[in-house]
């Protein structure tokens, strides 16, 4: 074994270019003797991953790699733990998989900030095929453990499980991704179709405007697109036949990520094909009407007193007006950002 921590000192045989490659990665632990350090480093950098593990399947010794050119991700990977099921010859009956070739790597992910669940994203593998992962409670990742009693982030012991194709060193390169549960509440007079990132969602009570329907999705950190097609069953909105859409979006702590208001993009009429997709160009759309023409903040008639839930903070909106000037069908879009 070679101590990877002092590779820079022992790299006299490396070319200047190879030394520069090694300098881009932080090594912790011992690299197996049958591993070409420079080639492994190049493969790791080429994967684009922030973190990596190289394991000797006979001894269980591990070396951890961190891409120094990448900003800190949703979890800080400090050092890999033991690699379980080490009998590479298949004699150990506790080793599952063909000829005992399944391995488990314990990977502690120590989060410095945030309360989000953490998922592992594989970026590259050598001599290792992933078959699953576990976050220490028998549950598939992401774990439900997010913060401790004081609200501080909790580190996760994630077990990566995979099969080897040969009894030689194997590597796993990965990133981590934060995931938060986000709750959507919405209703429309008279009905709506709602999409998140292009995927149709079931909104309980759709078709009965008095019922505010809600659902919760696990969303990754970053931008997400909400798209809605609302339909006023009685035709063109008028004072006797108003139309509206109202909604709010909150994280698991009740922080508001979005409400229906005048910042939503709106299309008067049946929206174009593909309008629900994140990449759709809505730059030619106007903004939704959120005040006047029958639209306005929660509390105005005729809907507020009849809704099944309070929607304080949100607005009744529509394309071109809720009781005058509006279209029978209204297309609406909004981009939200999950922290």
Q: What is the pLDDT of residues 273-296, one digit of tens each?
A: 999 999 999 999 999 999 999 999
CA distances to 61, 338, 339 from 217, rounded to whole Å, are 39, 12, 14
In DSSP terms, 191 is beta-bridged to 231
CA-based angle 282:235:319, to the nearest 5?
25
CA 14 to chain CA centroid, nearest Å: 40
Q: From CA 158, how far away is CA 87, in angstroms rounded? A: 21
Token pair recorded at residue 7:
């590779």
Mean pLDDT of 154-169: 81
Q: Is residue 137 scored above 70 in pLDDT?
A: no
- Averaged over 125-146, what is the pLDDT? 72
Give per-residue pLDDT as tens, 170-186: 899 999 887 888 999 99
For residues 62 and 29, give the distance between their C-alpha atoms in angstroms, rounded to a whole number: 6
Indicate if the pLDDT at residue 120 is higher than 70: yes
This prediction's pTM:
0.72
Report the SS3 class of residue 28.
strand
Please determine, for residue 233, whether its predicted confidence score (pLDDT) is greater than 50: yes
Confidence of residue 12 (pLDDT cuts 50, 70, 90): very low
Half-sphere exposure of 322 (CA within 13 A, CB side): 28
CA–CA separation, 303 vs 308, rounded Å?
A: 10
Helix count and strand count (H, E) for the chain: 3, 22
Cα angle, residue 45 at apex, residues 41 and 51 outer, rounded to 5°: 90
**168 burial level (CB within 10 Å; 0-12, 13-18, 19+):** middle
């Amino acid at each position: 074994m070679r101590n990877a921590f002092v590779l820079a000192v022992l790299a006299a045989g490396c070319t200047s270019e190879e030394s520069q490659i090694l300098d881009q990665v932080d090594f912790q632990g011992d690299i197996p003797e049958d591993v070409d350090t420079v080639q492994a480093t190049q493969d790791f950098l080429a994967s684009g991953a922030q973190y990596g593990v190289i394991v000797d399947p006979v001894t269980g010794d591990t070396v951890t790699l961190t891409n120094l050119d990448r900003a800190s991700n949703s979890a800080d990977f400090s050092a890999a733990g033991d690699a379980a099921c080490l009998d590479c010859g298949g004699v150990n009956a506790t080793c599952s998989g063909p000829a005992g070739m399944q391995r488990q790597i314990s990977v502690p992910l120590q989060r410095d900030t945030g309360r989000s669940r953490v998922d592992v994203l594989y970026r590259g593998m050598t001599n290792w095929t992933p078959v699953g992962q576990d976050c220490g409670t028998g549950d598939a990742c992401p774990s439900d453990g997010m913060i401790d009693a004081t609200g501080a982030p909790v580190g996760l012991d994630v077990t990566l499980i995979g099969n080897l194709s040969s009894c030689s060193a194997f590597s796993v390169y990965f990133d981590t991704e934060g995931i938060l549960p986000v709750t959507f509440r919405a209703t429309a007079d008279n009905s709506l179709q709602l999409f998140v990132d292009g995927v149709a969602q079931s909104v309980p009570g759709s078709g009965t405007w008095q019922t505010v329907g809600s659902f919760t999705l696990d969303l990754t950190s970053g931008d997400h697109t909400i798209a809605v097609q609302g339909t006023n069953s009685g035709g063109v909105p008028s004072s006797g036949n108003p139309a509206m859409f109202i909604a709010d979006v909150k994280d698991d702590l009740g922080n508001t990520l979005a409400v229906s208001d005048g910042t939503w993009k709106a299309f008067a009429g049946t929206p174009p094909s593909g309008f629900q997709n994140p990449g759709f160009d809505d730059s030619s759309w106007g903004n939704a009407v959120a005040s006047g023409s029958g639209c306005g903040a929660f509390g105005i008639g005729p809907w507020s007193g009849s809704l099944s839930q309070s929607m304080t903070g949100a607005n009744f909106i529509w394309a071109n007006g809720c009781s005058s000037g509006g279209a029978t069908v209204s297309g609406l879009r909004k981009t939200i950002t999950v922290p």
